[in-house]
Amino acid sequence: MSKRIERKSSGIILTKKGVNARTPYEHQYMAMQSLSTIDQEKHYSTLIVLPTGGGKTYTAALWLLKHAIDQKKKILWIAHRQMLLEQALQSFQQYAYTDTIPHISSFQYRIVSGAPEHDRAVDIMPKDDLLIVSKDSIGRNLQYLEPWLKQQKEIYLIIDEAHHAAAKTYRKVIAHVQKHVPYVKLIGLTATPFRTAENEQGLLAKIFQDGVKDGMIQKGQVGITYQIGLKDLINRQILSKPIFESYYTEDHYGESLGLSAWESIQHLDTLPDDIAQQLAKSAARNKLIVDTYQKNQKKYGQTIVFAVNVDHAIALNALFEKRGIRSAYIVSGVRDGVLGIGVSQKENQRNLEAYQQGELDVLINVNILTEGVDLPKTKSVFLARPTVSTILMTQMVGRALRGQAAGGTDTAYIVSFVDEWEEHIAWVNPESLFVCENEFNDDVNERVQRELRMISVSKIEEFASILDQSIDTTALERVPFTQRIPIGMYTFTYSEEGDNGMDIFCQIMVYDSTAKPYEAMLKELPELFRSFGIQEEYPSEDNLREMEQQCHDTFFCGEMIPPYAKQDVIHLLRYYAQYDSTPPFYSFDDIDRSRLDIQQVAQVIWDRDLGPRKRKEYIDTLWENNDDNLLKLFFGKKLYFIRQLDIEISKLSDPEIYQENANIRYGVRELEDLSLFEIRQVDPDYEKELRAQAFSKAKTKKGTYRCACCGVANTSQVFFQADHIKPRNQGGQSVPENLQILCKACNGKKGDR
């Protein structure tokens, strides 16, 4: 007799007797009512837009139970991450009451993904009523979907986190379903709709074309059936108003991260054990966390602290208790950390109940409190662990967003503890989750503070490097300080390949020096991808490196300070490969950069000839008594502010210090005997000039550029690469008359880079 095991990846959900005790909020009821309106159409494609914390999954699942499951119509629910699949199933199971689905006694479900605990696409059965599948798993195995779709006249296709629906795999799945089923009812759920400007809508607006406006169905133009903004839900007290704070630790991590450790963080959101233990055992870091709470206990109220591991939770709990703060911790039952300590479910439950009943002020959590437990009185979350996962960050932040009308609080404090990482890791800034949603802040001062906090996190490594005597930052220090303040940023998320891949969150700061090159590059991305013949959603590392090099040669030649980062360009290339569109640019127009110009502060100190005592008093006054706290927000640490100020004062006291090579006269060096790459290292502006002359020679009267070998012409420079007519290994020099442009194919054949 064969042995059987129970698997939660598929099964039958039985109808619960009675009435669902959870009453929809007004906005959820209105969303469901609007869905019922558009559902009168035989087929449609539309969006439901609810902000973070607005209950997208609950709203959709409750409506689908009544209008699809109860009517014996099939549902294909697609998301791009495993965590989202299980959340969806939980909603269908939790709200399957007889008052919602009175005509059936049960329905069959199946979860399909690459996770060991889930089924595979080959397991899909025609009798499944609800398929909850990962985008990549079904995208690679569409043939196994066909028996399930066979003879279906109507199907509900749900795209969770629908702002990802423009990705190529999603489009392929949607097209496949529409090919096999006459009437597809496509519903996208998102907190981030497409922008309203027609030229900015891109592919997302082409996918979702139908909607409801003023109670009327509009086909082929609106795209949204129901939408409500974060600000509206805050005003209705359904969500609390998030207030973001950042505290900067003195801790440095990642100085010698190996490749495997970096990949563990970036691709799995897992800190290597040694670094996790450093974080857990950092006395100064833990003291900062506890001090921050104790000094503002009345403001923060009941607080959940997200810790790194069990050892970290134990250490923090001991410190809180020592200060007389009522504290406990909950962790998964798995043994964790060097102490090998586990916590029973019974103890977790006891601590949870004590927190719910107000007997605890602080609940420290390790990998357990992101979903499913109702803790409405939580007023603050302390983010004592970093994450690269936007999904996890959304769940952590969401713990404090329950508004007064929902039994919660009017404001929510999201408190981040920011470390210094020498390696570039795309940690998620919690505030950025709300940048691309509907603006909820009309106050200019609050917008400025939000922008400065986002800039501050990105500038930590630059400020730290200036303090590091082993790093030469003189070129950066020569630049006027206001030019080192970003003018805006590209902010976006893209997905790595596979069900286990991370959502990579990116904030690319843009400066005066890089604004035009980025703008030109993004405009030419369609031509760049065409020239490389790349159509796949996940280009190879080799292709990405080659494309980045082409972007440098075409757009980023010459000296740029602050410079662009190669990895930022690769992030943008990955984003475009998935979505065939460019990310939004978020401008920092609200910031008056002159108010952060420490050159002016240095000038005051110099002109007044302030001695050490008076100078200290003046600096302390600026730092502590700044009404809107701009200096603290921008610099984060007073140490960074003082160091930058010292640099500006030294420029005034000894101007020659920051004049490039003021006391050296170099001998003449012949550049024509170097390659273009070698010239770039010593004189990037001259390299840029040589490339520009090569393209100028190749420009036709029609305004196109022509390959010197095959004659192919194109208006975009990204199709071509500068090349030596007489190869350098035959005595050719890097001079304008010996340079030509070749298309990528001809340059590859020539083989002399």
Which residues lie below 8 Å from residue 311, measured CB to CB, with a gap of 6+?
Answer: 277, 280, 281, 336, 337, 338, 339, 341
Q: Is a pLDDT exceeding 90 seen at residue 529?
A: yes
Tokens in use for 717?
């420079």
pLDDT at 657 over 70: no
Q: How confident is the model at residue 199 (pLDDT cuts 50, 70, 90)?
A: very low
pLDDT of residue 106: 95
Query: Whole-angstrom Cα distance, residue 523 to residue 521?
Result: 5
Q: How many helices (H) and strands (E) does the chain have?
A: 28, 23
Q: Residue 457: its pLDDT value, please?
A: 82
pLDDT digits (tens, 9 = 90+) for 334-380: 444 444 445 567 888 888 889 989 999 999 998 775 555 668 889 99
Interatomic CA distance for residues 695 and 744, integer angstroms: 14
> How many C-beta atoms lie closer than 10 Å to residue 177's C-beta?
20
Q: What is the pLDDT of residue 336?
A: 42
pLDDT of res. 335: 44
Q: Residue 445: which pLDDT band, with cuts at 50, 70 and 90?
A: confident
Q: How would you classify residue 533: left for phi > 0, otherwise alpha for psi between -120 and 50, otherwise beta?
A: left
Residue 543 pLDDT exceeds 90: yes
In a 10 Å sphere around its CB, with 0-12 CB exposed, 13-18 middle and 19+ buried, how is residue 429 labelled? buried
Over residues 209-218, mean pLDDT: 88
The answer to whether 497 and 169 are in contact (CB under 8 A) is no
Examine the pLDDT at 243 and tell me if it is beyond 80: yes
Q: State how far the Cα of 496 lies from the Cα of 459, in Å rounded to an integer.
A: 26
Query: Does the pLDDT value for residue 739 go beyond 60?
Result: yes
Q: Of the candidates 437, 56, 29, 31, which has an alpha carbon nearest to the alpha carbon of residue 226?
A: 31
**654 vs 722, more confident:** 722
CA distance 55 to 33: 15
Q: Give the DSSP H/E element, type plus range, for residue 174.
A: helix 168-180
The pLDDT value recorded for residue 202 is 65
More confident residue, 27 or 686: 27
Residue 668 has pLDDT above 60, yes or no: no
- pTM as predicted: 0.80
> Encoding tokens for residue 481?
């300080």
How many angstroms separate the CA atoms of 30 and 119, rounded? 35
Residue 454 pLDDT: 84
The answer on pLDDT for 662 being more than 90 is no
| For residue 719, pLDDT beyond 70 | yes
- CA 679 from centre of chain: 36
| pLDDT at residue 663 in the model | 45
Using alpha carbons, select from 305, 284, 323, 431 the residue that is nearest to residue 364. Answer: 305
Nearest to 40 by CA among 253, 219, 264, 182: 219
Rounded to whole angstroms, how far apart are CA atoms 269 and 53?
Answer: 23
| Banded pLDDT at 452 (limits 50, 70, 90) | confident
Residue 507 binned pLDDT confidence (cut-offs 50, 70, 90): confident
| Tokens found for residue 464 | 């730290």
> For residue 449, what pLDDT is reported?
82
The whole-angstrom separation of Cα 479 and Cα 658 is 9
Q: Which is it for strands 211-213 and 216-218: parallel, antiparallel or unpaired?
A: antiparallel
Per-residue pLDDT, 666 = 47
Interacting residues of 365 by C-beta distance below 8 A, sequence separation 6+:
304, 305, 306, 307, 313, 329, 330, 331
> What mean pLDDT comes out for the span 238-253?
88
Among 348-357, 660-669, 679-688, where is mean pLDDT lowest? Answer: 660-669
Q: Which residue has the tokens 């108003």?
A: 241
DSSP code at position 627: T
Structure confidence at residue 115 (pLDDT): 86
The answer, yes or no, to whether residue 1 has pLDDT greater than 50, is no
In whole angstroms, what is the distance from residue 315 CA to residue 535 CA? 51
Angstrom distance (rounded) from CA 621 to CA 639: 15
Does residue 264 have a pLDDT over 80?
no
Lowest mean pLDDT among 153-162, 575-584, 617-626: 617-626
Contact 467, 643 (CB under 8 A): yes
- Please report the pLDDT score of residue 435 as a whole number: 66
Q: What is the pLDDT confidence band of residue 660, given thresholds at 50, 70 and 90?
A: low
Angle ∠(124,125,130) on CA atoms, nearest 5: 80
Mean pLDDT over all residues of the chain? 86
pLDDT of 47 strictly over 90? yes
Q: Which residue has the higher pLDDT, 328 or 220?
A: 328
Given a cut of 70, is residue 665 above it in pLDDT? no
Angle subtended at Cα 424 by Cα 422 and Cα 426, rounded to the nearest 5 degrees: 130
pLDDT of residue 369: 59
pLDDT of residue 436: 52
Please tell me which of 131-145, 258-272, 641-655 the model is most confident about, judged by mean pLDDT.
131-145
**pLDDT tens-digit profile of 155-175?**
999 999 888 888 889 999 999
DSSP conformational letter for 699: B
> Is the pLDDT assigned to residue 499 strictly greater than 80?
no
Res 78 pLDDT > 90 = yes
